[in-house]
């Protein structure tokens, strides 16, 4: 009986097992489907990590539509003639690849190329920023092409002979799977140069007609500017870096034209010549630069409002108000100063800053009054000049203050206002609007900050009244900043330096209304430069400060272990702590002809 029961139980168990196996088999298609779904989601996630599926940044546009600019020449026509070739700006892009090593960057292929134009290279920018960039496309000028054929001269443009693979995102692996990124540099024919790289998702070389090379005499040298990607740490055996580029020949007289492409390398030593170049503007007429009416329209549309700090006591004035209220011209070896007329016609013009002449405040009871300026008379003095080979226009706006106030030293959470350190007679500060000559768009603004400054793209600016940006002038020193706050000039890591406090107040100058164009050399005699602009000497006497005594007092209050490190940091602070040369006028600054310090 017991054997029968045991046998029956075994039979029941086997049947249950068989039923369970059949049940699992019936579920197999569903399990397979779930596995495939999981695999798809995993691959989507992996592709996201490998940056073939990402959310692309939105393109930026100015808040207000652009006006109809006054007609004339090729400004805002969409095309710039560089001599034998002409270029257009392309801002439409197709995403190619994204990399999240360090700060994320994305690579794009330009699309929507106008008929007859050719791509010079692909585009790269940080992927956490709004899409705000361009690449130039190029074609040969028809009239020049016809004339060239008569002279049997080499054509301006030719396709590359081949491509060289610079780097692959799967470098070091045996397989090169589809979906990776491949960086190619064109191999130009003899006498021609490549201007950019191509990025693809496949290991096959791009077609030879996908990019064009330019005859070498129509190009100029590039230099690496900002490091955007460094993948060296991920795979040291296969290093890779990506840099933004800028022309070597910049400034008012510079002919270098930025193409908007990038430089990438797996082996490059500083100082080596790059395998890619920029364009050169060989058209002396600069037809895309704005004429006088267009300049007025640009300033009236984009002119920033300059806000001074709520506690500012050393405000700007016009130059003629400064002269009319007793400013004096001094000459070396002569004790008394000479009154300056309103136009500055008795100021010595030209020459160099030889120390023979300088300007000072009135010597009578008006001295303190003049120090505080006159906001009602204040205006921005405008210098208009070509930038990046005439493809952009720089509108440099200079603000004059009769006096620069004393500095404030910041040490950690504490601040100490000096009595005199940092003071000097007269203060010339500026900011620069960079406008795109293809469209008339405001592209960026340079904020001058004492001995340096920075470019800020249009999408990072604050605006007021349409497309007019806001510029914040720092308290006492009048350096310009794009946003309110406290900026440290010195060692920001240690919180030690000169404070630059910026904020909005009811003290402001609207440069779209209160301005005077004082120079635009490319327009010839259209703008008459004032006589005071030719004064190349100092607009204030040299002042020496006994700052060491005040700084020693601070150091002696610190614990002994901190005195030496703090003393070393003090030596890195701005030179105005120890003495201040009288400032020179705008035309004596190196950025008058040269590019801004960036």
- Sequence-separated (6 or more) residues with CB below 8 Å from residue 24: none
Q: What is the pLDDT, as a whole number, of residue 373?
A: 98
Q: What is the pLDDT, as a whole number, of residue 561?
A: 66
Average pLDDT over residues 540-562: 70
Per-residue pLDDT tens digits for 132-164: 999 999 999 987 666 655 566 799 999 999 999
Q: What is the pLDDT, as a whole number, of residue 264?
A: 96
Q: What is the pLDDT, as a whole number, of residue 568?
A: 65
Token couple for 556: 């002696």
Average pLDDT over residues 218-230: 95
Most confident range, picked from 152-156, 320-324, 403-407: 320-324
Element (H or E) spanning 162, and its range?
Answer: strand 162-168
Q: Return the minimum-mean-pLDDT range out of 32-41, 219-228, 454-463.
A: 32-41
Query: Percent of the chain scored above 90 by pLDDT?
Result: 69
Token couple for 411: 């040490």
Cβ atoms within 10 Å of 35's Cβ, excluding its own? 10
Query: Cα separation of 194 and 269, whole Å?
Result: 19
With a threshold of 0.85, does the pTM exceed it? Answer: yes
Q: Are 305 and 470 in contact (CB under 8 A)?
A: yes
DSSP-H helix ranges across 333-381? 367-371
Cα 176 vs. chain centroid, distance in angstroms? 36
Q: What is the pLDDT, as a whole number, of residue 40?
A: 29
Reference 134, options 195, 186, 92; nearest CA is: 92
Q: Answer whether residue 114 shows pLDDT above 90.
A: yes
Query: Percent of the chain scored above 70 by pLDDT?
Result: 82
Average pLDDT over residues 403-422: 82
Task: State whether the Cα torsion 422-423-425-430 is positive or negative.
Answer: positive
Q: Answer whether residue 31 shows pLDDT above 60.
A: no
Q: Answer whether residue 30 shows pLDDT above 50.
A: no
Query: Cα separation of 228 and 205, whole Å?
Result: 25
Token couple for 28: 């197999």
φ/ψ of residue 302, rounded to 5:
-110, -10
Q: What is the pLDDT, as a whole number, of residue 172?
A: 60
Q: Answer whether residue 399 shows pLDDT above 60.
A: yes
Query: Cα separation of 572 and 188, whole Å?
Result: 48
Average pLDDT over residues 498-518: 97
Supply the DSSP string of 419-434, one letter for each residue.
SSTT-EEEEEEEEEEE
Token couple for 35: 């596995």
Beta strands in 45-92 (DSSP E): 79-81, 85-90
Per-residue pLDDT tens digits for 272-290: 899 999 999 999 999 999 9
Beta strands in 388-513 (DSSP E): 392-404, 408-411, 414-417, 424-436, 442-449, 452-457, 463-464, 468-473, 480-481, 485-491, 496-502, 508-510
Q: Answer whether residue 113 shows pLDDT above 80.
A: yes
Q: What is the pLDDT, as a whole number, of residue 47?
A: 40
Average pLDDT over residues 243-264: 97
């Amino acid at each position: 009986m017991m054997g029968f029961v045991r046998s029956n139980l075994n039979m029941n168990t086997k049947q249950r097992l068989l039923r369970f196996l059949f049940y699992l088999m019936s579920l197999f298609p569903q399990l397979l489907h779930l596995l495939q779904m999981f695999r798809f989601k995993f691959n989507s996630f992996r592709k996201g990590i490998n940056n073939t599926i990402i959310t692309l940044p939105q393109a930026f546009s100015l808040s207000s539509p652009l006006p109809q600019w006054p007609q004339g020449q090729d400004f805002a026509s969409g095309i710039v003639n560089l001599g034998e070739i002409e270029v257009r700006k392309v801002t439409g892009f197709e995403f190619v690849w994204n990399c999240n090593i360090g700060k994320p960057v994305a690579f794009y292929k330009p699309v929507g190329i106008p008929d007859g134009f050719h791509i010079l290279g692909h585009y790269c920018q940080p992927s956490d920023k709004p899409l705000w960039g361009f690449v130039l496309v190029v074609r040969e000028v028809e009239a020049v092409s016809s004339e060239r054929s008569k002279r049997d001269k080499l054509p301006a443009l030719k396709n590359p002979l081949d491509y060289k693979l610079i780097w692959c995102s799967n470098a070091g692996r045996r397989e090169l799977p589809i979906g990776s990124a491949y960086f190619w540099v064109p191999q130009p024919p003899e006498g021609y140069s490549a201007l950019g790289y191509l990025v693809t998702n496949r290991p096959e070389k791009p077609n030879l007609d996908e990019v064009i090379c330019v005859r070498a005499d129509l190009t100029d040298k590039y230099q690496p500017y900002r490091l955007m990607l460094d993948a060296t740490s991920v795979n040291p055996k296969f290093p890779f870096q990506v840099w933004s580029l800028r022309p070597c020949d910049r400034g008012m007289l510079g002919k270098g034209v930025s193409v908007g492409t990038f430089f990438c390398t797996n082996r490059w030593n500083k100082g080596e010549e790059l395998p890619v170049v920029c364009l050169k503007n060989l058209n002396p007429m600069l037809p895309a630069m704005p004429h006088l009416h267009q300049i007025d329209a640009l300033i009236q549309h984009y002119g920033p409002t300059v806000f001074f700090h709520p506690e500012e006591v050393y405000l700007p004035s016009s130059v003629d108000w400064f002269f009319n209220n007793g400013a004096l011209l001094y000459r070396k070896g002569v004790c008394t100063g000479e009154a300056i007329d309103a136009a500055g016609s008795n100021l010595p013009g030209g020459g160099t800053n030889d120390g023979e002449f300088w300007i000072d405040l009135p010597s009578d009871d008006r001295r303190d009054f003049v120090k505080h300026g006159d906001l009602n008379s204040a205006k921005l003095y405008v210098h208009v000049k070509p930038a990046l080979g005439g493809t952009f226009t720089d509108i440099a706006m200079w603000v004059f203050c009769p006096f620069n106030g004393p500095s404030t030293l910041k040490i950690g959470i504490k601040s100490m206002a000096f009595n005199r350190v940092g003071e000097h007679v007269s203060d010339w500060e500026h900011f620069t609007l960079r406008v795109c000559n293809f469209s008339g768009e405001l592209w960026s603004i340079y904020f001058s900050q004492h001995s340096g400054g920075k470019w800020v793209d249009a999408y990072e600016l604050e605006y007021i009244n349409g497309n007019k940006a806001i510029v914040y002038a720092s308290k006492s020193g009048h350096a310009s900043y794009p946003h309110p706050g406290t900026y440290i000039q010195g060692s920001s890591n240690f919180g030690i330096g000169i404070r630059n406090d910026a904020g909005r107040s009811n003290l402001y100058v609207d440069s779209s209304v209160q301005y005077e164009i004082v120079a635009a050399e490319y327009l010839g005699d259209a703008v008459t430069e004032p006589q005071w602009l030719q004064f190349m000497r100092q607009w204030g006497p040299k002042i020496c400060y006994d700052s060491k005594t005040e700084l020693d007092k601070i150091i002696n209050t610190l614990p002994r272990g901190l005195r030496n490190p703090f003393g070393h940091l003090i030596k890195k602070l701005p030179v105005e702590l120890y003495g201040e040369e009288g400032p020179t006028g705008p035309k004596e600054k190196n950025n008058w002809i040269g590019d801004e310090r960036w």
